[in-house]
Amino acid sequence: MPSGRFAPSPTGRLHLGNLRTALVAWLFARSDGAPFYLRFEDLDTASIRDEHYISQADDLQAIGLDWDKPTLRQSDRLDAYETAIEQLLAEDLLYPCYCSRREIREAAQAPNNPHAGRRYPGTCRTLSTVERSARATVREPAFRVRAHGEVRHFIDRAAGPQTFELDDFVVRRNDGTPAYHLAVVIDDAAQGIELVVRADDLLESTARHLFLYEKLDFTTPEHAHIPLVLAPSGDRLAKRHGAVDLDDQAARGNRPADVRSFLASTLGLCEEGQPAELADLLAAFTMAALPTEPLVLPESMLGDGGDTP
């Protein structure tokens, strides 16, 4: 009985890839009669717009998905994240980091850094009190976990066995905003989510989340990371690739139910071009329907001019 959720960031219209991940997440929960929630991950305020909360919920509904109450917004839950940050601080699991982006980039590119370019090199992990006070006069710190380069293993229900080495990731940015990695863990735990379904660009981040579940004494959910939907060129799907959202598809004569059928056919749940009623999809859905390879959209789905730069 894996309760689930879909957690979009309201920064734009949902595209076919988002809708496909949402459909899989919904099928997992609802084929088992389990709770399913919608949660808006809206801490990244720069590109959040009111209209996107509305269009995202509308588009999910249009392809037939439903969800239980409450619909959370992370921006309403800052107190919960702050409480967790205090708990982690009290347990000496965090340290302040005063590095600017540029400093991190430069240190990460240093020839003796084994993780060149990718990871925080640990500059502020062992600052003395004196060094810390000196750096504190320059800027507000972000807070990072002391991960000690720990290696995490887990079994993803779609992607299989995984191993990642943790870095000292940020849980609170230097403008005071809680990081996604912290907020997602607090929310999934608070909502009792048992199976996290999302796109596989977040596969590596799961190691970070497992670290936080453990340190915060939460029950760890299972994960299923769904390969991305790609443009015909193999690029990550974007607006410029053509008819990527439900409005564009409607303009091409594809109703939301047609889009649902197309998405379901890419999951092996119905024949291409056949109607896909929700009841049939719920009955047909099994673990075996989980995609393990990226879906490259056919030109025919995206229409004229798709994929031109």
Residues that bind Zn ion (CB under 5 A): 97, 99, 123-124
Residue closer to ligand GLU (CB basis): 145 or 182: 182
Look up residue 304 and give its amino acid: D
Q: DSSP letter string over 190-212?
A: HTT-SEEEEEGGGTTHHHHHHHH
Q: Which of residues 164-193 bind ligand GLU (CB under 6 A)?
A: 184
Of ligand GLU, Zn ion, none, which one sits near residue 38, judging by CB under 5 to 8 A according to partner kind?
Answer: none
**CB neighbours (10 Å) of residue 56?**
23
The tokens 């690029």 sit on which residue?
235
Of Zn ion, ligand GLU, none, which one sits near residue 179, judging by CB under 5 to 8 A according to partner kind?
Answer: none
Which backbone phi and psi does 135 adopt, to 5 degrees? -70, -30
Residue closer to Zn ion (CB basis): 24 or 124: 124
The tokens 């079994």 sit on which residue?
155
Share of the chain residues as helix, strand and coil, in percent rounded to the nearest 5: 40, 15, 45
Q: Is 198 in the site for ligand GLU (CB under 6 A)?
A: yes
User: Minimum CB separation from Zn ion for residue 53, in Å?
Assistant: 35
Which DSSP helix (H) or strand (E) runs through 266? helix 256-266
Residue closer to ligand GLU (CB basis): 41 or 168: 41
Residue closer to ligand GLU (CB basis): 23 or 124: 23
- The SS3 assignment for 138 reads coil
Of ligand GLU, Zn ion, none, which one sits near residue 11, judging by CB under 5 to 8 A according to partner kind?
Answer: none
Q: Which of residues 2-41 bind ligand GLU (CB under 6 A)?
A: 7-9, 41
How remote is the C-alpha of 2 from its chain's centroid? Answer: 18
User: Minimum CB separation from ligand GLU for residue 44, in Å?
Assistant: 9
Instruction: Tell which residue, 160, 146, 163, has the closest CA to residue 88.
Output: 146
Which DSSP helix (H) or strand (E) runs through 95? strand 94-97
Residue closer to ligand GLU (CB basis): 184 or 276: 184
Part of the chain binding ligand GLU (CB under 6 A), chosen from 1-9, 167-175, 247-255, 296-304: 1-9
Of Zn ion, ligand GLU, none, which one sits near residue 97, judging by CB under 5 to 8 A according to partner kind?
Answer: Zn ion
Distance CA 30, CA 26 (A): 6
Distance CA 141, CA 103 (A): 13
Residue with the closest Cβ to ligand GLU?
Answer: 198
Residue closer to Zn ion (CB basis): 75 or 123: 123
Binding site for ligand GLU (CB under 6 A): 7-9, 41, 184, 198, 202
